[in-house]
Structure 1
Amino acid sequence: MTELSLRPEDRTPAPAAGPPDRRAALRDVRASARRHRAFLGVLAAGVLLRLAVMAGYRSVMWFPDSDDYLSGAVNPNPGLVRPSGYSLFLWLLKPFHSLTLVAFAQHAMGVATGVLLYALLRRRGAPGWLAALAAVPALLDAWQLQLEHMVMSDTLFGFLVMSALALLLWPGGAPGLRWTVGAAVLLGLATLTRSAGLPLLLLFGLYLLVRRTGWRHVLAALAAGLVPLVAYSSWFAAHHGEFAMTRSTGVFLYGRVAPFADCRAMRPPVDEMPLCLSGPPGGRSVYRSYIWGPDAARHRVEAEGFGPQGERLARSFALRAIMAQPGDYLRVALTDIARTFRWGHPQFPDGETYHRYLFAPTVASPGAKAEGYVRRYDSGYEPTRVVRPYASFLGAYQRTAYLPGVVLGAIVVAGAARIVRRRRRLGGAGLLPWSVGVTLLVVPAFTAQFDYRYVLPAVPLLILAAVLPDRSPTIGP
């Protein structure tokens, strides 16, 4: 009688054998979709935009550096100008003989960066709308989309750095040894992709010390991060006779000081005198490059360039200029940093370089000497085709759909303010992503030259620092 008096919905059915209830699983999926509906909308838009890029510019877009990267993929060797990590990534994809696959893989990394940012914020307790908004620049910024479509190292670099920070911050509290070692390895691989990653390893070690992770974790993490660097430097030494990662640090630094270096104030030795430029420093343009082209002054000390003698003299000259004119060095670097925080995207450094960053009606092709490398990498390669209406839409989209520099500046300030407010908590969870993001903005200005593509990998990290909650991780997203 008691059982008969129960309502059917109050009865607890006995566990049924067989496959799980598909309707229950569907309900769970629908509930999860409702919970993440804001982000799913942004994600869908990001995927559709990337499909439009692949349809509008077939197969990839080119930058002058692309030739060297592809050469290193066809003939693997440690490059003199930049680390060859990206070339090794291209080499891994070489068996497929498809540059379209390279573009697809890089677009997938761009999407994954946005997903990692969103997932980490939700894991740490951020509301869905805020986490979805934070992922918008990574997923929808037109300049990010264009960079992903070029044969360039920046997308891979940004993905590796974001993955390292996600791995470190995901557990909440003090990360375990496996988390710190994994993050350090990823940062080491990022350094092989772009040398700007090297100071990030140092920041990583300092962060672990500040967070009182323990010497065991710090030493193990740094050792793990150095393993890829030592292995690569050994490879470099076997090819070039020096235990180093590149032979261009001094040359790039020379390009940084050339606009203001005054040999009358520096008094360089005789062997460095050929690097002096004629005319007063005040008349030199910061828009031009002082290291590329047949007329570059560095060719006066070494005709071929990037040899040990030229690198040594360029580094010595650059350091001498910095010591003699520290105010001018600081002024030039700060001027470049300020370019990051402008409202728009004014042309810099020159029209040809700037045009390569645009979804334009015409696009550049690989250099003449690179044609052989391209054919060996992708036997079916044809010059990049611009296909309308996709390309026309992307060109219009790029004129408005980007993160203005002023907004990025506000994000940097917001992250700094949160760190100051949480000084009793040693800066809070945002300390590391903020430090890494700011370092990525500052280092190129002091060591080379401003470039819009150097800014993009820092954006997700700075947004993460500005909105990442300090609370313990939630059970799920």
Structure 2
Amino acid sequence: MPRSPEEGAGPGRLRRVGRGVVTRLGRAAVRHAGLLTLVGLGVALRVLATLAYVPAFSFADSFSYLEVARTGDAEVHRTWGYSGFLALVDGFLGFRYLVVVQHVLGVVAAVLVYALLQHRGVRRWVSCLAVAPLLLDGYVVMLEHYVMADSLYVLLLAIAVVLVLWHERPPWWAAGAAGAVLALGLLTRTVGLAVIGVVGLYLLVRLVRRTVGWTAVAATAVGMAAVVLPYVVWFHGHTGVYALSDYTGHFLYGRVAPFADCEKVDVPAGLRGLCPDGPEEERPNPDFFVWHPDSPANSGRYTDEDLREFSELVLRGQAMEYLGGTAGRTADYFLPGRTAGAHDSCAAYWWFPASHTHEAAGPLDCPAQLSRQGFELEPVEPVLRSAPADVLARYQDWVHTPDFLLGGLVVVGLSGLVPHRRRPRWRDNLDAVFCVVAGVALVAVPSATAVYDHRYGLPLLVVLPVAAALASRSWSRDRGAEAPAAAEQPPPVRPAVGSLT
């Protein structure tokens, strides 16, 4: 007798559905075996780090992040985004799990970038190469282990890039979400303002070419405003200033003091005390002039407005020295042979400390320090386990992204601008150029306002591989083979390009 509809919808049907899901997952695992392998290795590295270094690493900024997370007050030195993240983690987990969350964020960022490239039709092996640095670079894993905003910003940047580049014509909701995420990135690290400017220029170009509508542009602006404006009002309630932070003069002073020559600049008598002493080559780096108690900026005699006025006088009077120094520092992120200079941040902060920590730090004598304070500033007991720590220290020596490779990615990302008899897809090249410009802006801003620091180059591992991967599509004779544009000949068994399941 034939089965009734009720019988067909019983346990047998559920088993068939379950087998179908397992089959599809198995096929997806085979197709994306490269990504799964990289993720597995990346997770293993991060597990090793959580075993080797308990509970986390701390930097000079870490205390203020934790203090603001505890009090909920505005911080004049920096924006509140990462402190808000710390408060959120504190509400659900303990300090011991902070680095676990941050390591998860790093892996998620890599998977999002891979999904974007697959959706855009990039070959799987190229997509795997593009996300390998985010998953395997020793410096990336190290920075994820710090009580610092970098890992959160990398995830927000990856989300923003995916939202901006995913759609051929972005719908209003995606554009609005992109604007909100970009604004969250700005509140996490103020360098995010540079990316917002580049996104605005990118949307303007697409608007002129009529590949994006006014609705998407307006939605992006509304998404940003919905996040930034309440923050500015809140910051004013705490400080009396409508701004994101109120330390601009100090940061500018720190940037100009190492080269300021008051013999070349007409400095008012009331600001002459800000003129640094000694020859330029013997002066400390910008961090000293911003933070150290012996810096003229922290003598109590000058306001932030005074520091800004002095800095602007130096910038106008020694513009070529400033611009040349900024260009040189920016180029250092992409050129081989970079060695730490007297005015740079100490490189050893971002090295995994081995059991022989001070020997690893060498003459720089600035090894990474394990945290001794957690949430609510309660004391925590730091632990360094020698065996896994030594493995990670040796791993980082060999597995990291060299500067010249970043420079190569810039060249590849811009290659679509070179005229060719077989014209490549215009949008791929525009998007590649957008990612390159965003990457350069991400390191040009700290080069213009602070020191050269290896950690400032971490976001480059999000945007530059995407730029090179998109530009490389135009090189292939069968570039449409894996592209969504090939939908006119859909494969009979494969799912839509970009699906991870």
Q: Same fold (TM over 0.5)?
A: yes
* SS across alignment from 1:290: helix
Partner AA of 1:410 in structure 2: G
Structure 2, unmatched stretches of 5+, are: 1-7, 358-367, 475-479, 486-495
**Distance change in 2, residues 1:328/1:244 (3 Å):** same
Q: Is the 8 A contact 1:64 1:366 kept in 2?
A: no
Given the alignment of the two structures, is residue 336 of structure 1 paired with residue 366 of structure 2, yes or no?
no
Q: Is the 8 A contact 2:53 2:382 kept in 1?
A: yes
CA distance in 2: counterparts of 1:257 and 1:62, whole angstroms: 27
* TM-score (normalised: structure 2): 0.84
Q: Which residue of 2 aligns with 1:425?
A: 426
Q: Is the 8 A contact 1:52 1:390 kept in 2?
A: yes
Q: Which residue of 2 aligns with 1:44?
A: 40
CA distance in 1: counterparts of 2:346 and 2:67, whole angstroms: 21
Q: Which residue of 2 aligns with 1:179?
A: 174
Q: Is the 8 A contact 2:413 2:464 kept in 1?
A: yes
**Distance change in 2, residues 1:313/1:376 (3 Å):** same
What is the CA distance between 1:84 and its match in structure 2?
A: 1.1
Partner AA of 1:65 in structure 2: D
CA distance in 1: counterparts of 2:112 and 2:183, whole angstroms: 19
* SS across alignment from 2:294: coil
Q: Which residue of 2 aligns with 1:116?
A: 112
Q: Which residue of 1 aligns with 2:214?
A: 215
Within 5 Å, which residues of 2 pair with 1:379-390? 382-390=380-388
* SS across alignment from 1:459: helix
Q: Which residue of 2 aligns with 1:168?
A: 164
Within 5 Å, which residues of 2 pair with 1:55-454? 55-96=51-92, 98-171=94-167, 173-212=168-207, 213-281=212-280, 283-284=282-283, 286=285, 289-300=288-299, 302=300, 310-343=303-336, 346-347=339-340, 353-360=346-353, 361=355, 362=357, 363-366=368-371, 371=373, 374=374, 376=376, 382-420=380-418, 425=426, 427-454=429-456
* SS across alignment from 2:410: helix
What is the CA distance between 1:282 and its match in structure 2?
A: 5.3
**Distance change in 2, residues 1:285/1:241 (3 Å):** closer
Within 5 Å, which residues of 2 pair with 1:8-19? 18-19=13-14
Cα distance per residue 1:295-335 (max 9 Å; x no partner): 112124x26xxxxx521111111111111111110222123
What is the CA distance between 1:409 and its match in structure 2?
A: 0.7
CA distance in 2: counterparts of 1:432 and 1:84, whole angstroms: 28
**Distance change in 2, residues 1:395/1:269 (3 Å):** same
CA distance in 2: counterparts of 1:424 and 1:168, whole angstroms: 18
Q: Is the 8 A contact 1:56 1:388 kept in 2?
A: yes
* SS across alignment from 1:106: helix
Cα distance per residue 1:1-53 (max 9 Å; x no partner): xxxxxxxxxxxxx9996214244433322221111111111110001100000
What is the CA distance between 1:365 and its match in structure 2?
A: 4.4
CA distance in 2: counterparts of 1:277 and 1:38, whole angstroms: 55
CA distance in 2: counterparts of 1:93 and 1:157, whole angstroms: 16
* SS across alignment from 1:79: coil
**Distance change in 2, residues 1:423/1:329 (3 Å):** farther
CA distance in 2: counterparts of 1:266 and 1:84, whole angstroms: 36
Cα distance per residue 1:249-297 (max 9 Å; x no partner): 2211111111211111111112221110123445545576322212112
CA distance in 2: counterparts of 1:345 and 1:108, whole angstroms: 31
CA distance in 1: counterparts of 2:124 and 2:344, whole angstroms: 41
Q: Is the 8 A contact 2:66 2:83 kept in 1?
A: yes
Structure 1, unmatched stretches of 5+, are: 1-13, 304-308
Q: Which residue of 1 aligns with 2:24?
A: 28
CA distance in 2: counterparts of 1:278 and 1:416, whole angstroms: 44
Q: Is the 8 A contact 1:201 1:225 kept in 2?
A: no
What is the CA distance between 1:105 and its match in structure 2?
A: 0.9
What is the CA distance between 1:366 and its match in structure 2?
A: 4.8
What is the CA distance between 1:424 and its match in structure 2?
A: 8.6
Q: Which residue of 1 aligns with 2:365?
A: none
Given the alignment of the two structures, is residue 461 of structure 1 paired with residue 459 of structure 2, yes or no?
no
What is the CA distance between 1:351 and its match in structure 2?
A: 10
Partner AA of 2:446 in structure 1: P
Moved more, 309-318 or 18-27: 18-27
What is the CA distance between 1:149 and its match in structure 2?
A: 0.5
Cα distance per residue 1:349-397 (max 9 Å; x no partner): 6899433211113452458xxx4xx3635x6x53321113111100100
What is the CA distance between 1:425 and its match in structure 2?
A: 2.9
**Distance change in 2, residues 1:178/1:473 (3 Å):** farther
Q: Is the 8 A contact 2:52 2:389 kept in 1?
A: yes
**Distance change in 2, residues 1:19/1:163 (3 Å):** same
CA distance in 1: counterparts of 2:223 and 2:334, whole angstroms: 35
Given the alignment of the two structures, is residue 473 of structure 1 paired with residue 480 of structure 2, yes or no?
no
Alignment RMSD (CA, Å): 2.5
* TM-score (normalised: structure 1): 0.88
Partner AA of 1:417 in structure 2: S
Q: Which residue of 1 aligns with 2:491?
A: none
* SS across alignment from 1:64: coil
Q: Which residue of 2 aligns with 1:10?
A: none
CA distance in 2: counterparts of 1:442 and 1:383, whole angstroms: 38
Q: Is the 8 A contact 1:257 1:318 kept in 2?
A: yes
User: Among the aligned pairs, what percent are the same residue?
Assistant: 32
CA distance in 2: counterparts of 1:128 and 1:83, whole angstroms: 38
CA distance in 1: counterparts of 2:349 and 2:252, whole angstroms: 24
Q: Is the 8 A contact 1:438 1:462 kept in 2?
A: no
